[in-house]
Amino acid sequence: MPSDVMRVRLHLRQIRVLEVVEDTSAVLRVRVESSQTQLQCPHCGFKCHKVHDTRERQVRDAEVSGRRTTLVWMRHRFSCGNCSERFLEDHDSFDGKLTRRMAHRLVADAQVMSTRAVVRRHGMHWTVIMTLVRA
């Protein structure tokens, strides 16, 4: 393995790091995918393993060493061999375009800081923060 290869440990269950896309003093972007090889079809219950295609989804994660962290999730779309329906995979650690730990961090910060301060700190729109706080 070359000495300039960076390893990242995300501590997310069933998520595999594919590569570090961007690594600067302010930003960390990491391409990831789920390690699940088969899912149950939500339409008929059949166990599916055929990946029809893959779509990128940007998911904000909690900061790593003070850097804004984005996961580029290579989200698989499966094709059911039984009913021929296609469906996107979901993951327990991701809640929309945020990781669950990022959502918890935003809510925790909003409890001790003003919404404006949380917006400045994390660079997120205030409606995202207020939606999480209300939920």
The CA distance from 119 to 122, in Å, is 6
- Does 4 score more than 80 pLDDT? no
Residue 73 shares a structural domain with residue 111: no
Residue 67 shares a structural domain with residue 101: no
The CA distance from 30 to 80, in Å, is 29
pLDDT band at residue 6 under the 50/70/90 scheme: low
Exposure string over 53-78, b if 16+ CB within 10 A, otherwise e: eeeeeebbbbeeeeebbbbbbebbeb
- Does 7 score more than 70 pLDDT? no
Residue 77 shares a structural domain with residue 109: no
Residue 14 shares a structural domain with residue 47: yes
Asked, for residue 79, whether it belongs to a domain, the answer is yes
Asked, for residue 3, whether it belongs to a domain, the answer is no
Residue 95's SS3 state is strand
Residue 70 shares a structural domain with residue 118: no
The CA distance from 76 to 85, in Å, is 14
Which residue segment(s) compose the domain that 107 sits in? 97-135
Q: Model-level pTM greater than 0.75?
A: yes
Residue range 10-18: mean pLDDT, rounded:
87
Residue 86 shares a structural domain with residue 123: no
Residue range 99-117: mean pLDDT, rounded:
93
Q: Rounded to 10 degrees, what is the CA torsion of 94, 100, 105, 111?
A: 120
CA neighbours within 13 Å on the CB side: how many for 124?
A: 28
The CA distance from 80 to 62, in Å, is 34
Q: What is the total count of domains within the chain?
A: 2
Q: Rounded to 10 degrees, what is the CA torsion of 77, 135, 11, 121?
A: 110
Q: What is the pLDDT of residue 10?
A: 79
CB neighbours of residue 125 within 10 Å:
10
Asked, for residue 55, whether it belongs to a domain, the answer is yes
Residue 29 shares a structural domain with residue 80: yes
- Mean pLDDT across the chain, nearest whole number? 89
pLDDT per position as a tens digit, 81-105: 999 999 999 999 998 899 999 999 9
